[in-house]
Amino acid sequence: MRRFRNVKIVATLGPASEDYDTIRALHEAGADVFRLNMSHGDHDSIREKHRIIRQIEHDLDSPIGILADLQGPKLRVGEFANGEEELVEGAAFRLDLDPAPGTEMRVCLPHPEIFEALEPGARLLVNDGKIRLTVTECGKDYAETEVITGGTISNRKGVNVPDVVLPLAALSEKDRADLEFACQLGVDWLALSFVQRAADVEEARKLCDGRAAILSKIEKPSAVEWFDNILAASDGIMVARGDLGVELPVQNVPPIQKRLVRKCRAAAKPVIVATQMLESMVESPMPTRAEVSDVAAAIYEGADAIMLSAESAAGDYPVEAVHTMDNVAREVESDPTYTEIIEASRRIERRSVADGIVAAAREIAEATDIKAICCFTQSGTTALLTARERPRVPIMALSNLRGTARRLALSWGVNCVLCGELERFKSAVISAARAAREQGYAEALDQIVITAGVPFNVPGTTNILRIAPCQESLLYSTDPG
């Protein structure tokens, strides 16, 4: 299904979007990738959503990416005798391992690993940062704190610890079970929550064993600090602004977002900007102007994808939210300023033959009347390198591997087309010209740029660039074979 925009849309599925008709409407409205949130729903409900997505993919003959988002270890306080208590600014409050119901003076924090890492002066943020505590004294099984920002604290509220790297694995036992389930199900991407270091990604990769691509969620200050290492270990990145905005001052998040997006582009790895992009559309059919500007800013920065969470999973207007994102993307990408910004931020990368081939393809396409860049890819790398160039013409990625086509659904400007296995370059040229015509990217007398690697069906061998007409009679008469 051809999109008339380059940025991709990720839509989270949930109670508001779990039947065939709604999910199909979301895809037709513009959703390129569907997110399955492993924090909500059991394996049976996740399996059913996966089945429906694959049925829609078959019915529309359109590769669709599926992203399974692992929950990660959740740090929460215990329960209170009265269900909740009011903490007053300046008061003392104790966190410990005692399972007894909490009072206005203390509550259980059933995570000994937190106490092992805490030091005096460290901050504890409760209930998305609404309550802020500072550690005054701590030991292996307790922490005395001062209430800096008071408020109502109730049962099982989440706790963030922004100032220390916790000795926690990014994968809980639940995550390990969910990871294996998702891989057996056949998802295309796995999103890791609570990533603090590259070792967290490497652990998940071993468990995944090549069955899905790994996407790291950046939501911890330590992840920002060690981002370069995490990026090198990951296949993609999600800038998860929710927890990031809790653990860091909110004014720090926009410049961090901009830096991370640029680094991902330079590395030719897809990056999603997520969290509260159209939050008001959970209840309203129209977004706020600030939300539209937020979505537009992510697109101007060059993000590969923008994501809907509660808006499409639990909101009253899931399809309208996707339509809104699609409309904003089309408008932004038609703005001449967008092209200026994207091209001004392009970094010259010339480390390999493939880098040179895709750069030349983009330059030729923009200097002449070329309608599309068609790249044959096994692993997806050539398409990712082409997307890094952010060409002004459409990118068609042709692959005989359905899994590769699905994973590329997350990448900027990449339109995935499945083709048969090819043995000769001449056959590839003919296949590309035919696909360009059938998909509406070019007409018979138009020209396209084709990149491929010889020998065929071997990842990482991009070494050929060809300009070809789309009329098959001309191909047969001019192609040297």
Domain with 421 in it: 353-478
How confident is the model at residue 1, as a pLDDT? Answer: 74
Has residue 478 got a pLDDT over 60?
Answer: no
Query: Among 135, 160, 185, where does a domain finish?
Result: 160
Alpha-carbon distances, residue 339 vs 131, 216, 415 (angstroms): 43, 28, 19
- pLDDT-derived band at 415, boundaries 50, 70, 90: very high
Whether 63 is covered by a domain: the verdict is: yes
Mean pLDDT over residues 4-12, rounded? 97
Mean pLDDT over residues 59-87, rounded? 94
Amino acid at site 210: G
- The catalytically annotated residue of 275, 381, 451, 462 is 275
This prediction has a pTM of 0.92
Query: Among 97, 127, 160, where does a domain finish?
Result: 160
Same domain, 37 and 91: no
What span, in angstroms and rounded, lies between the C-alpha atoms of 104 and 137? 18
Return the C-alpha torsion angle 168, 171, 173, 176, nearest 10.
-160
- The catalytically annotated residue of 3, 76, 174, 434 is 76
Whether 78 is covered by a domain: the verdict is: no
Same domain, 431 and 470: yes
Contacts of 452 (CB under 8 A, 6+ apart): 375, 376, 425, 428, 462, 464, 466
How confident is the model at residue 462, as a pLDDT? Answer: 85
- The catalytically annotated residue of 5, 157, 205, 217 is 217
How confident is the model at residue 480, as a pLDDT? Answer: 47
217 flagged as catalytic: yes
The residue that leads in pLDDT, 418 or 472, is 418
- pLDDT tens, residue by residue, 380-413: 999 999 999 999 999 999 999 999 999 999 999 9
Same domain, 336 and 187: yes
Q: Could you tell me what percent of the chain has a pLDDT over 90? A: 82
Strands 33-37 and 65-69: parallel
- pLDDT tens, residue by residue, 294-348: 999 999 999 999 999 999 999 999 999 999 999 999 999 999 999 999 999 998 7
Question: Total structural domains in the chain?
Answer: 3
Contact 191, 69 (CB under 8 A): yes
**What is the domain-level CATH number for residue 185?**
3.20.20.60
Same domain, 289 and 181: yes
Amino acid at site 239: V
Same domain, 211 and 314: yes
Q: Which conformational region is residue 193 in: left (phi greater than 0), alpha (psi within -120 to 50 degrees), or beta? A: beta
The helix or strand, by DSSP H or E, that contains position 398, with its residue range, turns out to be strand 395-399
The residue that leads in pLDDT, 453 or 288, is 288
- The catalytically annotated residue of 8, 35, 157, 406 is 35
Taking Cα atoms as reference points, which of 225, 290, 326 lies closest to residue 11? 326
How confident is the model at residue 27, as a pLDDT? Answer: 98
Has residue 473 got a pLDDT over 80?
Answer: no
DSSP-based helix, strand, coil % in the chain, nearest 5: 40, 25, 35
35 flagged as catalytic: yes
How confident is the model at residue 184, as a pLDDT? Answer: 97
Contact 389, 362 (CB under 8 A): yes
- pLDDT-derived band at 477, boundaries 50, 70, 90: low
Instruction: Give the DSSP letter of residue 396.
Output: E
241 flagged as catalytic: no
